[in-house]
C-alpha cells in the first residue's frame, strides 16, 4: 500500500493548477504544506497524524486526488468504513478525470470493503444530535444509514435539557441494523404559560331585564288567574244552591274554575323561576379581580390548567 500512496504523493499537487484558479495562493500553499506533512507522517507510520494532515489539506484545497490518500491511510488504520467512504467519493468527484486503471483498482477495493462494514439506520426524535462511538454523525432524521466497521459500536443521542441516551450494538459485515433511541425525549418537555386573566366582558343588561320582566308578567298573570279561579269557585257554589240547575251547567262552571286555577299555578311557577334567574344574573354581574391567574402546561399524558380565582 506504500507504493500506491507514493504515486499519489508524487502526483497529488503536480496537477494542482486547476485548484489555483479557485483557491487563493496562500490557502493553496497551506494545503500543500499539510499534504507534504501528511506524506512524511505516513512514511513514519504515524497514520493518525497523516490522516489529520490529509483531511486538513482537502479542507483547504478539495482536490479529489487527496481522497485517495485518505482512503489509503484509513486502510492502514483498519477503518474500513472510512476507507470505503473516501474511495467512493474519490471516484464520484474525480469522474472522468480518474484514469481507467485507477478506477478498476479502487472499484476492486470498494467491493472488498463492503464485506467488512455494516450500516446503521438510526431513528430518533427530530433534531436530536446523533453520535456513533462519540463522533457526531449528524442530527435526526439522518438522510442515510451510517456506515460502520464490523464490530461493537455505541450509539448516543443528545437532546438539550436531557441526559444523553446510549446503546451498544454489534454489527456484522454487510449487516443492516435499525436502532431506535430517544424518540420520546422531546415529549417529556413541560411548557408553562402564566398570565393574568383580564376581567370578563360584560354581558350587558339585556338578560337581567328580560328575566325580571318575565318574572313580573308571570306574577301578575298568576295573580289574575288566581282571582278568576276564586270568582269561578264562588259562582260554582252559587249554582249548587240554585234550583233548578242542570248537571251540564255545574260541570261547565267547575271546568272554568279548574282551568283558571291551573293557569294561576303555572304562571306562578314560571314567575318564581324567572325571578331566580334574574337574581342570579344580577348577583353575578361583579367585576373580576385583577389578580386572578391561570397556568397552562403540557405533559406527555396531556395538558393541564391551574390557577387561583
Give the DSSP letter string of the chain: -HHHHHHHHHHTTTT-HHHHHHS-HHHHHHHHHHHHHHHHHHHTT-HHHHHHHHHHHHHHS--HHHHHHHHHHHHHTT-HHHHHHHHHHHHHHHGGGS-HHHHHHHHHHHHHHGGGEEEEEEE-STT-EEEETTEEEEESSPSSPEEEESEEEEEEEE-TTS--EEEEEEE-TT-EEEEE-STTTGGG--EEEEEEPPPPPP--SHHHHHHHHHHHHHHHHHHHHHHHHHHHHHHHHHHHTSSS--HHHHHHHHHHHHHHHHHHHHHHHHHHHHHHHHHHHHHT--PPPTT-EEEEEEETTEEEEEEE-
pTM tops 0.85: no
Give the per-residue pLDDT at 295. Answer: 47
Give the per-residue pLDDT at 216. Answer: 84
Give the per-residue pLDDT at 239. Answer: 67
Give the per-residue pLDDT at 58. Answer: 95
The string of pLDDT tens digits covering residues 128-174 is 999 999 999 999 899 999 999 999 999 999 988 888 889 999 999 99
Residues of the chain falling short of pLDDT 50: 1-21, 186-198, 200, 286-306, 308-309
Q: Closest Cα to residue 81, out of 181, 179, 171, 9?
A: 171
CA dist 248 and 266 (Å) reads 27
CA dist 298 and 305 (Å) reads 9
Give the per-residue pLDDT at 301. Answer: 45
Give the per-residue pLDDT at 186. Answer: 47
Amino acid at each position: 500500500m506504500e507504493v500506491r500512496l507514493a504515486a499519489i504523493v508524487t502526483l497529488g499537487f503536480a496537477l494542482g493548477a486547476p485548484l489555483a484558479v479557485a483557491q487563493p495562493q496562500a490557502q493553496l500553499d497551506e494545503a500543500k504544506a499539510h499534504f507534504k506533512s501528511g506524506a512524511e507522517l505516513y512514511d513514519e507510520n504515524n497514520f493518525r497524524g497523516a490522516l489529520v494532515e490529509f483531511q486538513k489539506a482537502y479542507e483547504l484545497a478539495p482536490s479529489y486526488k487527496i481522497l485517495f490518500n485518505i482512503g489509503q491511510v484509513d486502510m492502514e488504520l483498519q477503518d474500513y468504513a472510512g476507507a470505503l467512504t473516501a474511495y467512493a467519493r474519490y471516484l464520484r468527484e474525480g469522474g472522468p478525470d480518474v484514469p481507467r486503471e485507477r478506477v478498476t483498482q479502487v472499484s476492486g477495493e470498494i467491493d472488498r470493503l463492503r464485506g467488512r462494514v455494516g450500516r446503521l439506520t438510526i431513528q430518533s426524535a427530530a433534531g436530536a444530535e446523533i453520535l456513533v462511538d462519540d463522533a457526531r454523525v449528524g442530527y435526526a432524521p439522518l438522510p442515510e444509514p451510517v456506515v460502520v466497521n464490523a464490530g461493537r459500536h455505541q450509539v448516543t443521542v443528545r437532546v438539550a435539557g436531557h441526559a444523553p441516551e446510549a446503546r451498544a450494538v454489534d454489527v456484522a459485515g454487510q449487516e443492516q441494523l435499525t436502532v431506535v433511541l430517544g424518540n420520546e425525549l422531546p415529549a417529556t418537555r413541560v411548557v408553562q404559560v402564566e398570565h393574568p386573566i383580564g376581567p370578563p366582558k360584560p354581558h350587558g343588561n339585556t338578560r337581567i331585564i328580560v328575566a325580571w320582566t318575565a318574572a313580573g308578567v308571570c306574577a301578575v298573570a298568576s295573580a289574575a288567574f288566581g282571582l278568576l279561579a276564586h270568582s269561578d269557585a264562588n259562582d260554582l257554589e252559587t249554582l249548587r244552591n240554585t234550583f233548578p240547575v242542570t248537571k251540564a251547567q255545574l260541570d261547565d262552571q267547575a271546568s272554568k274554575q279548574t282551568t283558571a286555577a291551573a293557569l294561576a299555578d303555572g304562571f306562578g311557577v314560571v314567575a318564581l323561576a324567572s325571578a331566580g334567574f334574574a337574581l342570579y344574573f344580577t348577583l353575578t354581574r361583579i367585576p373580576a379581580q385583577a389578580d386572578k391567574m391561570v397556568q397552562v402546561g403540557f405533559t406527555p399524558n396531556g395538558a393541564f390548567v391551574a390557577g387561583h380565582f
